[in-house]
């Protein structure tokens, strides 16, 4: 089984924030793949289903971003699953908007949600890094991620959610490079991302 975690902050105030792209991805996967209704447990909300024949539990921690690891630890302990079966979807300011990369482990680049998850369960889980762009100067990062996606960004956000949900079986099945490539091509087909930008870049 897999535990697929989306990072974000709870409540309508944060719903459309760039920092909440993880929640948005999970909502779309749950909708597209006919998951069970969301219910409260593990200091978060979960939904259960299958993708590509694998059992998957979706988890949205409701602890606020900085304490996300508590919910992930609770769920991982309950299901007795290790780091290879934990996937965390999060916003990534080090990637341009409309880009997505998958990696295992690595640094946390100042992301408080990742910092908390790594502190609670270890560092070598898979991350789906959804680019939200960098505001240019460090001082503006906080307000950038805690502001809603601009109206002009909505088309690529919707295309990203569609592409990830469409190809979730590749992600769940551990075929990360195929997953990354399919998402990249789907966004490119809709006019997002330069033609010469290779998924492995």
Which residues carry a binding-site annotation for tRNA? 14, 64, 66, 112
| Radius of gyration in angstroms for the set of CA atoms belonging to the chain, rounded to a whole number | 15
| Catalytic-role residue among 19, 90, 144, 184 | 19
Q: Are 32 and 104 contacting, i.e. CB atoms less than 8 angstroms apart?
A: no
Is 19 in the active site?
yes
| Residue 29 · residue 168 · CB < 8 Å | yes
Please state the residue numbers annotated as binding site.
14, 64, 66, 112
Contact 99, 65 (CB under 8 A): no
CA geometry: angle at 50 spanning 162 and 179, to 5°?
45
Number of Cβ within 10 Å of residue 92's Cβ equals 23
Rounded Cα distance, 48 and 97, in Å: 30
Distance in Å from the first CA to the final CA of the chain: 30
Active site residue ranges = 19
């Amino acid at each position: 089984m897999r535990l697929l975690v989306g990072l974000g902050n709870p409540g309508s105030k944060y719903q459309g924030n760039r920092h909440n792209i993880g929640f948005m991805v999970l909502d779309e996967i749950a909708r597209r793949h006919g998951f069970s209704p969301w219910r409260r447990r593990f200091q978060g909300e979960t939904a259960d289903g299958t993708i590509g024949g694998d059992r998957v539990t979706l988890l949205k921690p409701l602890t606020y971003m900085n304490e996300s690891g508590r919910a992930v630890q609770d769920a991982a302990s309950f299901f007795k699953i290790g780091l290879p079966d934990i996937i965390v979807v999060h916003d990534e300011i080090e990637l341009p908007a409309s880009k997505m990369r998958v990696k295992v482990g690595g640094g946390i680049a100042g992301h408080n949600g990742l910092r908390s998850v790594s502190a609670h369960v270890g560092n070598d889980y898979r991350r789906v890094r959804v680019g939200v762009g960098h505001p240019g100067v460090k001082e503006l990062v906080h307000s950038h991620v805690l502001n809603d996606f601009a109206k002009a960004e909505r088309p690529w956000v919707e295309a990203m959610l569609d592409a990830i949900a469409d190809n979730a079986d590749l992600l769940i099945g551990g075929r990360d490079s195929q997953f990354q490539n399919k998402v990249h091509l789907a966004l490119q087909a809709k006019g997002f991302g330069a033609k010469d930008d290779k998924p492995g870049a």
